[in-house]
Structure 1
Amino acid sequence: MVAVAEAVSWAALLLAMAAKYGLGQPLGVTVAGWVHGVVFTAYVVTCLVVFSPLRWRFRVLVLALVASVPPLASVWFERWARRRGLLERRESQEPTFWGRVGYALRTLN
């Protein structure tokens, strides 16, 4: 849901930019820019929160974050991840990413 919202807010910002520079209406960029900033931040935070419980490899996280930059790429990533089963929580005895980080920090102490 956040990926679609991010893509829609990106498209709205692009339309607002066209209105600003083509029609001289700058207010749309102010509103759409603010909305897109909030939704973009929500998308990035969501990716950072879910990658460990969903047991994504680090490169999948990087791909998700890179997909937030080009317009509508977050929707492509969401569809790609869904087809590969990356959006379903998988049970495993293997520790999550944050479990490994915690273990490494405890070991260093």
Structure 2
Amino acid sequence: MDTKTATAIRRLRLVSMPEAVSFLLLLVCSVLKRTTEFNAVPVMGAVHGLLFVLYLVFLLDAWSKTKWPLKTVALYFVLSVLPTGGFVADRKLKREVEAEVIASRARREGIVNA
């Protein structure tokens, strides 16, 4: 994996967790708005919206660098619209990077000819 590809995936991982947390906080704020006088929905909505847009931009960047199939990109998009999907996306991206690092080391050491 080259440096640009690793950086693109790292950026996507970096924003996936905060995006998931902001989504959950937005849901909590929505419930609180309807049950109490507390209304943080405008603020959390803006924060979550910004993080969601960043997630999509970084997803497109990672897609262009990694050459993932459309099915993989669609999966990461669906995970971004599920309340806890960002956590799953982060875990999947971490595994993918670790697998690529292991494969790269194996190729370098001549263990696997790929």
TM-score of the superposed pair, with normalisation by structure 1:
0.72
- Tell whether 2:91 aligns with 1:79: yes
Report if the CA contact (8 A) 1:81-1:87 is conserved. Answer: no
- Tell whether 2:50 aligns with 1:38: yes
- Of the candidates 24, 28, 37, which is equivalent to residue 11 of structure 1? 24
Q: Which amino acid aligns with 2:28?
A: L
1:88 to partner: Cα distance = 5.5
Give the distance between the partners of 1:58 and 1:3, measured in 2 at CA: 19
Cα deviation digits, residues 61-96 of structure 1 (max 9, x gap) = 1101111111120210221232234895999xxxxx
1:12 to partner: Cα distance = 1.3
Q: Detail structure 1 runs of 4+ shifted over 2 Å in the superposition.
A: 84-91
Give the distance between the partners of 1:62 and 1:72, measured in 2 at CA: 16
Change (3 A) 1:87 1:34: farther
Give the equivalent residue in structure 1 for 2:112: none
TM-score of the superposed pair, with normalisation by structure 2:
0.69
Give the distance between the partners of 1:52 and 1:69, measured in 2 at CA: 21
Change (3 A) 1:29 1:79: same
How many pairs were matched up?
Answer: 90
Report if the CA contact (8 A) 1:11-1:71 is conserved. Answer: yes
Give the equivalent residue in structure 2 for 1:68: 80
Which structure shows the bigger proportion of residues in helix conformation?
Answer: 2
RMSD: 2.3
Report if the CA contact (8 A) 1:67-1:77 is conserved. Answer: yes
Change (3 A) 1:21 1:85: same
Give the distance between the partners of 2:60 and 2:75, measured in 1 at CA: 12
